[in-house]
């Protein structure tokens, strides 16, 4: 009897492909094994998703599996099933889903051998060596960290923010010598731990009581309320049961401080997966979790697909963060997949945030998630006071009001730090000719070019096109070009002019793109000396600045009035997250928000009552209009070289969807608010349904028809289930 296997092949088709399994392969096929297969003119690496498939194609027409790449399955059955489930749920080709679940190293037939990591420990003769100079404080701090941790690899040392320039002299000077990889010995049982306050205690008890069962918790606690401590304690109980834990963090949430806390509490137990690692390092860490050599995985979005030997607890920190949703190709939400994995593995899932998403709050209201609240800041720090600054009719100095500048002066005079937040990088978002009105627009997008003054260029933040900054108007040749509105670069210059005696530190994508530059800026700030920080949302994530006592928010209005109904939710979260950076330790913080609409009800609720009442109000509005998370939605997007092309395709797709079915609606085709992006015209259909099953039925039809419809060559289209943006 000939045998067939079904293989998930990385290609845009929404199905698996059957191949003949030859005796000569010398192995039994198993689900999850990688195989080399012919596909059209190419050879690809695929993963077996079914064995003993039946098939009526004549044998001589069947393609044959060329080679088996694994001794035993690379992907365990639970992940293969998760991939198939997710392919259905997100209406995405299964081959691409399964491939994305593999570390890059395993997507190729040939694998590079990896060197095992070298670990370093403090030398036994350290006392006999000449003491390090007083100026070498970073080296002394590294020695102290290694001493505390026992041993650390070069990679871990780098992740903790120490460069090779700090490490190498310690090795060469004999302060450090080679060590074996640490083995977990349960020493976390005896680590120094703070005494939990009663809310933390209740949260830890609730979670640990459910270990071994699927359950979902929302841990809602302001920044600094001790959420991480709750995770650490719950993980301790999980490890004591001989199980492993997965901790997901947002893209730039893995700060050296966080990693250090996990490493020090659980020495020899922690692996990381994030974009700063090489493919080889990622593969090694993946294996350490799979083989249960390590018990804890701390990782960003794609870490949710790591195979675990014995998964017992899942934590999603800052669960509201948009970086959990992949924004191209397979548009999955790692947060939602994490919940699905919890159900597959029968283990609790803890979603934590200071600003929970409306989705999770709705799940609490529906009794699907159990709410755990931390209302107090751990260690007794108090919440910042928030004040609205009405800037209507006020003359602004490069975007800054007199009240905000005065508050900054007082903050610096008191020896503290100020943080000025504006979510717009560059010098100015718009360049205009004062004489003829010409505007510097992007040639490929319906968008204005941003002025980057230091680099003397105009740059489009949507397609990254750039050109030299003109000095005269290209249209009327006058010299009167004006910069409309501020960006962070302009604020930095203005603040330097106002406060020449203190350092002004700008943190945005432009100042932190070089490796390690973010860490060195953060180190400067954490010395605690008076300074002014100015930056974008990069300031709102991960890092804490204990000496910041003033937070100034330059412009909040944009998000509150955005075209997307999620605008106010997103702005509110950002505002609260930025505000949470202030007054963390023993210092009281104040937050000033500049606004043209101080009476805006959402803003009022946020300022007077805090995030929870604000979010409840937004949720009530969503209820009123039956918007997600009350209903379920999906967006079908298309883009083409003409708007007509994109719209015509969506028009035909829409016409073919079952109008007879009830409980769902469809809007569009609507052109995106920024219709042209990077030379392509974009439009969308928005689907909404009261029940998920109805939405999925319609999407299933849509995908089937969309695949069949004849399309112009240049047309691209995609499906986004549970979108976080409409366009």
Q: Which stretch binds ligand ADP (CB under 6 A): 218-226, 471-479, 633-641, 681-689?
A: 218-226
Q: Give the contact letters, 424-463, x = binds to Zn ion (CB under 5 A), - = no.
A: ---------x-xx-x---x-xx--------------x-xx
Q: Which stretch binds ligand ADP (CB under 6 A): 8-16, 216-224, 327-335, 506-514?
A: 216-224
Cα-based angle 570, 463, 563 (whole degrees, multiple of 5): 30
Q: How many CB atoms lie within 10 A of CB 706?
A: 21
Say which entry of Zn ion, ligand ADP, none residue 210 contacts (CB below 5 to 8 A, set by partner kind): none
Q: Is there binding between residue 476 and Zn ion (CB under 5 A)? A: yes
Q: Which of residues 349-408 bind ligand ADP (CB under 6 A)?
A: 378-379
Rounded CA-CA distance 461/448 in Å is: 9
Say which entry of ligand ADP, Zn ion, none residue 694 contacts (CB below 5 to 8 A, set by partner kind): none
Please identify which residue in 111, 164, 168, 475 interacts with Zn ion, judged by CB under 5 A: 475
Closest to ligand ADP by CB, 298 or 378: 378
DSSP state of 690: S
| Adjacent-strand bridge partners of 344 | none
Q: Does residue 590 contact residue 579 with C-beta atoms inside 8 Å? A: no
In the complex, minimum distance from the CB of residue 551 to ligand ADP, in angstroms, rounded to a whole number = 16
Pairing of strands 176-179, 270-273: unpaired
Please identify which residue in 74, 100, 200, 573 interacts with ligand ADP, judged by CB under 6 A: 200
Q: Is there binding between residue 197 and ligand ADP (CB under 6 A)? A: yes
Match 């198939």 to its residue by tokens.
84
Size of the site for Zn ion (CB under 5 A): 14
Rounded CA-CA distance 432/463 in Å is: 20
- Residue 295 corresponds to which tokens in the numbers above? 């018990």
Say which entry of ligand ADP, Zn ion, none residue 475 contacts (CB below 5 to 8 A, set by partner kind): Zn ion
Compute φ and ψ for 282, nearest 5 degrees. -65, -45
Closest to Zn ion by CB, 144 or 472: 472
Closest to Zn ion by CB, 405 or 444: 444
Rounded CA-CA distance 589/549 in Å is: 4
In the complex, minimum distance from the CB of residue 466 to Zn ion, in angstroms, rounded to a whole number = 9
Closest to ligand ADP by CB, 226 or 645: 226
Q: Is there binding between residue 224 and ligand ADP (CB under 6 A)? A: yes
Match 């399309």 to its residue by tokens.
711
In the complex, minimum distance from the CB of residue 319 to ligand ADP, in angstroms, rounded to a whole number = 13
Closest to Zn ion by CB, 25 or 463: 463
Cα-based angle 231, 232, 238 (whole degrees, multiple of 5): 85
Sheet containing strand 632-640, strands side by side: 664-677, 680-689, 632-640, 716-721
In the complex, minimum distance from the CB of residue 446 to Zn ion, in angstroms, rounded to a whole number = 9
Q: Which of 270, 264, 262 is nearest to 148 (CA)?
A: 264
Size of the site for ligand ADP (CB under 6 A): 15
Q: Is there binding between residue 226 and ligand ADP (CB under 6 A)? A: yes
Q: Which of residues 368-397 bind Zn ion (CB under 5 A)?
A: none
Q: Which stretch binds Zn ion (CB under 5 A): 16-24, 274-282, 397-405, 473-481?
A: 473-481
Q: Does residue 445 contact residue 439 with C-beta atoms inside 8 Å? A: no
- Which residues are CB-contacts of 195 (< 8 A; sequence separation ≥ 6)? none
Report CA dihedral (643, 645, 650, 652) to the nearest 10 degrees: 140
Closest to ligand ADP by CB, 144 or 709: 144
Q: Which stretch binds ligand ADP (CB under 6 A): 193-201, 235-243, 436-444, 708-716?
A: 193-201
Q: Does residue 153 contact residue 164 with C-beta atoms inside 8 Å? A: no
Say which entry of ligand ADP, Zn ion, none residue 462 contacts (CB below 5 to 8 A, set by partner kind): Zn ion
Rounded CA-CA distance 579/410 in Å is: 18
Rounded CA-CA distance 313/150 in Å is: 26
Q: How many CB atoms lie within 10 A of CB 365?
A: 15
In the complex, minimum distance from the CB of residue 201 to ligand ADP, in angstroms, rounded to a whole number = 9
Q: Which stretch binds ligand ADP (CB under 6 A): 223-231, 273-281, 441-449, 567-575?
A: 223-231
- Which residues are CB-contacts of 638 (< 8 A; sequence separation ≥ 6)? 646, 647, 649, 650, 669, 682, 683, 684, 715, 716, 717
The residues that touch ligand ADP, with contacts defined as CB under 6 A, are 194-197, 200, 221, 223-229, 378-379
The residues that touch Zn ion, with contacts defined as CB under 5 A, are 433, 435-436, 438, 442, 444-445, 460, 462-463, 465, 473, 475-476
């Amino acid at each position: 009897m000939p045998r067939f296997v079904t293989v998930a092949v990385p290609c845009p088709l929404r199905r698996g492909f059957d191949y003949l399994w030859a005796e000569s392969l010398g192995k039994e096929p198993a689900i999850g094994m990688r195989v080399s297969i012919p596909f059209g003119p190419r050879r690809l690496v695929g993963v077996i998703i079914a064995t003993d498939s039946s098939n009526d194609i004549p044998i001589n027409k069947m393609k044959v599996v060329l080679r088996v790449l694994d001794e035993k399955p690379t992907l365990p059955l639970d992940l293969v099933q998760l991939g198939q489930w997710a392919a259905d749920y997100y209406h995405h080709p299964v081959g691409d889903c399964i491939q994305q679940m593999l570390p890059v190293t395993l997507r190729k037939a040939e694998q590079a051998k990896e060197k095992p990591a070298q670990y370093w420990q403090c030398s036994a003769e350290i006392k006999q060596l000449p003491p390090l100079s007083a100026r070498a404080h970073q080296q002394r701090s590294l020695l102290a960290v290694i001493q505390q941790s026992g041993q650390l690899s070069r990679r871990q040392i780098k992740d903790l923010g120490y460069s090779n320039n700090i490490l190498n002299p310690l090795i060469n000077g004999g302060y450090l010598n080679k060590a074996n990889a640490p083995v977990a010995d349960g020493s976390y049982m005896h680590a120094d731990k703070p005494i939990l306050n009663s809310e933390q205690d209740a949260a830890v008890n609730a979670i640990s009581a459910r270990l071994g069962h699927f359950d979902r918790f929302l841990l809602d606690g302001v920044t600094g309320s001790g959420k991480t401590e709750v995770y650490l304690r719950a993980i301790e109980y999980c490890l004591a049961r001989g199980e492993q834990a997965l901790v997901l963090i947002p893209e730039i949430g893995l700060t050296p401080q966080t990693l250090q806390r996990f490493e020090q509490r659980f020495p020899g137990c922690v692996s990381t997966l994030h974009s700063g690692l090489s493919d080889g390092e990622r593969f090694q860490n993946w294996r350490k979790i799979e083989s249960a050599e390590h018990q804890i995985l701390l990782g960003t979005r794609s870490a949710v697909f790591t195979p675990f030997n014995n998964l017992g607890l899942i934590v999603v920190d800052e669960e509201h963060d948009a970086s959990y949703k992949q924004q191209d190709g397979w548009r999955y939400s790692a947060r939602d997949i994490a919940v699905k994995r919890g159900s597959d593995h029968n283990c609790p899932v803890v979603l934590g945030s200071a600003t929970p998403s409306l989705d999770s709050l709705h799940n609490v209201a529906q009794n699907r998630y159990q709410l755990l609240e931390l209302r107090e800041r751990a260690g007794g720090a108090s919440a910042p006071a928030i004040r609205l600054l009405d800037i209507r009719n006020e003359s602004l100095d490069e975007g800054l009001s007199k009240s905000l500048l005065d508050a900054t002066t007082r903050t610096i005079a008191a020896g503290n730090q100020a943080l000025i937040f504006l979510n717009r990088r560059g010098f100015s978002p718009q360049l205009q000719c004062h004489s003829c009105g010409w505007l510097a627009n992007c040639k490929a997008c319906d968008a204005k070019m941003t002025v980057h003054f230091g680099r003397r260029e105009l740059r489009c933040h949507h397609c990254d096109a750039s050109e030299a900054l003109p000095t005269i108007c290209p249209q009327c040749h006058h010299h009167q070009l004006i910069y409309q509105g501020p960006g962070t670069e302009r604020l930095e210059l203005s603040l330097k002019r106002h406060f020449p005696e203190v350092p002004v530190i700008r943190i945005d994508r432009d100042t932190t793109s070089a490796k390690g530059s973010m860490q060195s800026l953060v180190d400067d700030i954490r010395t605690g000396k008076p300074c002014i920080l100015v930056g974008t949302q990069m300031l709102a994530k991960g890092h804490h600045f204990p000496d910041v006592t003033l937070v100034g928010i330059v412009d909040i209005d944009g998000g509150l009035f955005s075209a997307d109904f999620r605008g106010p939710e997103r702005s509110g979260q950002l505002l609260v997250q930025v505000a949470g950076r202030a007054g963390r330790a023993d210092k009281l913080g104040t937050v000033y928000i500049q606004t043209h609409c101080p009476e805006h009800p959402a803003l009022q609720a946020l300022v007077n009552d805090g995030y929870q009442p604000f979010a409840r109000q937004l949720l009530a509005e969503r209820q009123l209009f039956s918007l997600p998370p009350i209903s379920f939605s999906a967006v079908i997007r298309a883009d083409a070289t003409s708007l007509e092309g994109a719209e015509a395709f969506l028009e035909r797709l829409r016409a073919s969807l079952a109008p007879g079915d009830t409980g769902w609606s469809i809007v569009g085709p609507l052109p995106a608010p920024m219709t042209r992006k990077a030379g392509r015209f974009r439009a969308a259909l928005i689907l909404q349904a009261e029940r998920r099953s109805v939405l999925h039925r319609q999407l299933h039809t849509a995908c089937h028809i969309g695949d069949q419809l004849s399309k112009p060559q240049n047309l691209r289209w995609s499906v986004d289930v549970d979108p976080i943006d409409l366009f």
